[in-house]
Chains A and B, each alone.
Chain A
């Protein structure tokens, strides 16, 4: 078995725009999706994720480059000859067919013998927890149920790769969260490579083995959820995934993987990528939940700064603070409410003096 289920080699897609100009939807993208993994393409709308998916499905053909599925170049192969199936955003169930007919459609097109179709349809519907729904019509089903039928209709064909185009977008939040876990479980059970397109970072983090963060037709970073969250390689990725404090300053000293970063009279020890040089302008990224607030200076931390609480917002599970560390430097802090009412020292409105601290590996220098 080849290592990669799907490979995009230097793939570009250009469309004629509405007023004659060319729109580059996907710009020289190279991506390798491993066999059997749950891979997400994540990015804001217009980042090229859906176009990339549609090129794998065969609905769009690349302007340049080549798409490979299990090492076979796809060229101009039409969708109906590709070993992939798609779950569409609005399900795209055939309204004039019963659920059973919908699920059987792909098998019929492939010429699977009649005697085999019935049992396979039954099995597929059981897999998505809709046993006995064969005779119902799509309109009689709820959104979540229709979504499951769409899954069954695709998976019954045993595709080499399953493509999912924001399949949970139309569902309400609670159902979406349920379906996320269900999808992940299903993927492990069937062992098929899933390529999932979404603009919802939480969704991508929840389900994916690996995530490709895209923007403006380019892949910004590919990696496991933790990798992308902990070590974003650019300001865009750090900003798009979760919440981050960005502090613009200057690199003062470089010691291997760590640097001294200076801003507004503060010196911060932080992690930095290779190639950062002395005197370089850069951005420091610190996650709000990595900053600890204490009434007194903590003994064990390299980065500890006195500050003043400007605002605090109670959010139930945690509380958010805006802390001023220097005249030009302020940070957002998120602290979990593990004790009933926040930190006693921080009660009261604003103006409380605190110490904000974080470890050197919680701060990341970004040059891009």
Chain B
């Protein structure tokens, strides 16, 4: 290749990269830098920040208050519960779909994905109607004479967990399906032939071999759930505080941008550590396969 041709292709590559790179720089990296900057300065009187800026570590130190750490821990706990439920429900579902005739498999996968076609906010409000005092579940139970009055299904942690599982189950099903679908079930026969009952064959052969899918499902569920805002806000009705609702409050009613920015970055750091750990662990897994 001649020098001019190489330079030409470099220009072409640059031209193709520029829009995407520019977009990310302008609307992702730059705001992130601004958030980073705000998290290290003092708050202004009417929200916003003090100008000229006064640098401080106060915002991060404030975070180590029992109240905020509690909210943080609560988010992580709820995210773990939701992720665990998604994995426990999702794995058998993914297995079931993978065992169907190819003709049915695509249709079933489509059914898993169909909820994505509806706005998440709309779906959450719909679920709220189902769980409400005069909602579907309570009406049915009261109508059947099973309970005297409506159950408190809404505006509590239970509602938030139900909402999050509902919203993120497909994120767990799809990567696990991809792993299970590739799994060679002759290996289960081999395990059975060698004296393993179904439970042991699953634990020793199928689970380890589909673990990459399970880990991917874990990350894809846990990361968005720990920072979820809409579901705890609507389903929790302000009674269930998670990190995202706390952050939202700082930029809203509390008018404390610097503190909100600091929490945002702590959350981001936590997720980043989790994802890196997953890549390390997942990488190990892939090497041994």
Contact = CB atoms under 8 A, between A and B. Distances in A.
Interface of A: 57-59, 78-80, 84-86, 88, 90, 92-96, 105-106, 109-110, 137, 153-154, 157
B186 interface: yes
B189 A80 contact: no
Contact of A88 (B189, B195, B200): B189
B193 A80 contact: yes
| A-B interface, 10 closest residue pairs, ranked by CB to CB distance from nearest | A109-B195, A106-B194, A92-B190, A79-B192, A92-B186, A86-B193, A80-B195, A109-B196, A80-B192, A105-B194
Contact of B288 (A59, A96, A106): A96
B289 interface: yes
A141 to B, nearest CB: 15
A147 to B, nearest CB: 14
Given A105-B194, A106-B194, A79 B205 contact: no
A94 B205 CA distance: 7
Given A79-B193, A109-B196, 6 more contacts: A78-B192, A79-B189, A86-B190, A95-B289, A96-B288, A105-B204
Contacts of B289: 95-96
The bracket for how many chain B residues form the interface is: 10 to 19
Which residue, of A57, A92, A153, has the highest number of chain B Cβ atoms within 10 A? A92
B187 interface: yes
A88 B190 CA distance: 8
Contacts of B195: 80, 106, 109-110, 157
Interface string B175-205: 0000000001011011111111100100011
Nearest to A101: B204
B189 A92 contact: yes
B244 interface: no
A157 B193 CA distance: 11
Interface in B158-190: 184, 186-187, 189-190
A96 B197 contact: no
Contacts of B192: 58-59, 78-80
22 contacts: A59-B189, A78-B197, A79-B192, A79-B193, A80-B194, A85-B194, A88-B190, A92-B184, A92-B187, A93-B190, A94-B191, A94-B209, A95-B209, A95-B289, A96-B208, A105-B196, A105-B204, A106-B195, A109-B194, A109-B200, A137-B288, A154-B193
* Central interface residue in A57, A93, A95, by most chain B CB within 10 Å: A95
Contacts, number: 61
B183 to A, nearest CB: 10
Contacts of A94: 187, 190-191, 205, 209
Contacts of A137: 288
A336 B69 CA distance: 91
Contacts of A78: 192, 197
A150 to B, nearest CB: 9
Contacts of B189: 59, 79, 86, 88, 92
A82 to B, nearest CB: 8
Nearest to B194: A106
A58 B288 CA distance: 31
A80 B209 contact: no
B201 to A, nearest CB: 8
B176 to A, nearest CB: 17
Contacts of B190: 86, 88, 92-94
Interface of B: 184, 186-187, 189-197, 200, 204-205, 208-209, 288-289
Contacts of B200: 109
Contact of B197 (A57, A80, A92, A153): A80
Contacts of B205: 94, 96
Nearest to B195: A109
Contacts of A157: 194-195
B215 to A, nearest CB: 14
A96 B203 CA distance: 13
A153 B194 contact: yes
B246 to A, nearest CB: 42
Contacts of A57: 193
A80 B199 CA distance: 12
A151 to B, nearest CB: 13
A93 B288 CA distance: 14
A12 to B, nearest CB: 22
Contacts of A95: 209, 289
A276 B197 CA distance: 55
Contacts of B193: 57, 59, 79-80, 84-86, 154
B66 to A, nearest CB: 44
B182 to A, nearest CB: 11
Contacts of A79: 189, 192-193
A175 B112 CA distance: 48
Nearest to A57: B193
A223 B234 CA distance: 77
A239 to B, nearest CB: 32
A59 B185 CA distance: 12
Contacts of A84: 193
Contacts of B288: 96, 137
A247 to B, nearest CB: 46
Nearest to B185: A92
Given A59-B189, A88-B189, A109-B200, A96 B194 contact: no
Given A79-B193, A80-B197, A96-B289, A90 B186 contact: yes
